[in-house]
Copies of this chain bind each other. A is one copy, B any other.
């Protein structure tokens, strides 16, 4: 096992805007741990744009990865993984979107996830989007989503050992 402190501890949150290099940076962090690695994908391919993005992300990952699809049951997917397996969850924002679209109890889901992530396991690397630094959205659904995403980021950051803000592909240490 590598030194956990050197890897940024048990739980690392990689947060950033669109195309800020979050996934690529998180992949570098995970692959600094010994293989095999688990990739927990939350994306659902609703349309061609999303299918293309998923294929691109998959093609960048090489040997040594197991991919688990968990668009909704992220808690179950994480719990089913063997102890000590380095895990990349990509990403919380899509997982939240899927629950919002399914009209699930988003607050309960977020509490459940934060609870699992606070357990003394890992190393886990979780990717999430910063979506709250633009102008207030016109429509109420977008505002509610933005609020839920911000609260989820806070909950996960609170139980993380390391929080990195990505800016133009570069990590800025927040915690």
Contact = CB atoms under 8 A, between A and B. Distances in A.
Given A20-B150, A131-B136, A142-B135, A169 B158 contact: yes
Contact of A18 (B15, B136, B169): B136
Given A18-B136, A20-B150, 18 more contacts: A15-B167, A16-B132, A17-B150, A19-B146, A19-B153, A19-B154, A20-B132, A130-B133, A130-B167, A134-B135, A134-B137, A150-B168, A154-B168, A157-B169, A157-B170, A158-B169, A163-B168, A172-B172
20 contacts: A17-B133, A17-B134, A18-B136, A18-B147, A19-B146, A19-B154, A20-B154, A49-B143, A130-B167, A131-B135, A134-B135, A134-B137, A150-B168, A153-B169, A157-B170, A163-B170, A165-B167, A167-B174, A168-B174, A170-B175
